[in-house]
Amino acid sequence: MKLLITGAAGFIGMHAAFRFLSDRCEVVGLDNINSYYDVSLKHARLKELGISSGAFRYNQMISGVNGFRFIQLDLCDAGNMMALFATEKFDAVVHLAAQAGVRFSITNPRDYIDSNITGFFNLLEAVRAFPVQHFIYASSSSVYGNSHDVPFSVSNNTNTPVSLYAATKKTNELLAYTYSHLYGIPATGLRFFTVYGPWGRPDMAYYSFAENIINGRPIKLYNNGQLKRDFTYIDDITESLSRLLPQYPDGSPPCRLLNIGRSCPEDLGTFVGILERYLGRSAQTEFLPMQPGDVYQTYSDTSDIEKLTGFKPQINLDEGLRRFVEWMLQRSGKL
């Protein structure tokens, strides 16, 4: 199977590329390498896949390890996107590229409209013109807003997003449904729940907290630390993706939404305590009020994806953070 992974220089994208390569898929990775966070981390991820930062040029395909190929391309570049699909004739797409970050969307809204809506539309148009067997795309648990109806089920009402980021992800779900209805595109939207692990994004709480604790800087706990998150380890995500890829939706329209999480919300205090234990030092904490766009809790009902794949995430928060801290200390030369 020839597979396109968008956002391949990103956290989930890099891990997904490795997983599908191990499944003997032919993988093409795409990323625009934007500067939302330090691009050196994106280059380092690509280096793991055999792609040197000095080798790629915009809209030029280059080869890496185990047959992996990479192209630097922006989803908003509709013409070159269409040309890529015409040339490659993909069997499936795993769309992970997006402008991420809830708080960044407050101050930089246009980036989210461009990447998450215009880019998504361009991708759907390419899939319409050059059909694939399965179009899997990343949505987000943020679409549930501040719902008190837990665990969050895909049947819940999601018409009250509390951030622009969440609104763009909800828009993706609506666009995918419409294209599936009109053109028969087999589409699966995945609502990810707080994915973490090695090679993660520096703006994520687990990563920034660990960095600050290591360097003796205070960590900021919003809503006075009274938050809960359904943390999901990256290897459980990629295992779920691998099992889901051949499970094509067959409804009318062939479109579905699935939660992908561990179904085990943890409070922020527990999370910080585990980090402190594995880092071997105490955190300096600064308690702050709730931030605009943030939510109080996330908690996934994953019964649907478990029935489809026969898999339930295995790695608990303690083990996952241990692996992350070990990677981080090795990468920083402090292990």
Q: Which of 120, 140, 250, 121 is nearest to 187 (CA)?
A: 250
Is the preceding peptide bond at 253 cis, omega within 30 degrees of 0? yes
> Residue 101 — very low, low, confident or very high, per pLDDT cuts 50/70/90?
confident
The dihedrals phi and psi of 228, each to the nearest 5 degrees, come to -130, 140
The secondary structure element, H or E, covering residue 137 is: strand 134-140
- Entry pTM: 0.95
Q: Please, what is the end-to-end C-alpha distance for the chain in angstroms?
A: 40
Q: What pLDDT, on a 0 to 100 scale, did the predictor assign at position 334?
A: 61
Q: Which residues of 92-119 are buried (b: 16+ CB within 10 A; e: fewer)?
A: bbbbbbbbbbbebbeeeeebbbebbbeb
- 26-31 and 61-63 beta bridge pairing: unpaired
Q: Where are the domains of the chain?
A: 2-200+232-263+300-314
Cα 236 off chain centre by: 13
What whole-number distance in Å separates Cα of residue 283 and Cα of residue 170? 36
Give the active site residue among 112, 137, 144, 165: 165
pLDDT by residue (tens digit) across 305-332? 999 999 999 999 999 999 999 999 998 7
> Residue 128 — very low, low, confident or very high, per pLDDT cuts 50/70/90?
very high
> Residue 227 — very low, low, confident or very high, per pLDDT cuts 50/70/90?
confident
pLDDT by residue (tens digit) across 251-282? 899 999 999 999 999 998 899 999 999 999 99
Identify the DSSP state of 209: H
| Percentage of the residues of the chain whose pLDDT score is greater than 90 | 82
Question: In the Cβ-directed half-sphere of 146, how many Cα atoms lie within 13 Å?
Answer: 10
Q: Judging by beta carbons within 10 Å of its beta carbon (0-12, 13-18, 19+), is residue 80 exposed, middle or buried?
A: middle
Q: Is 137 a catalytic residue?
A: no
Fold designation for 2-200+232-263+300-314: Rossmann fold (3.40.50)
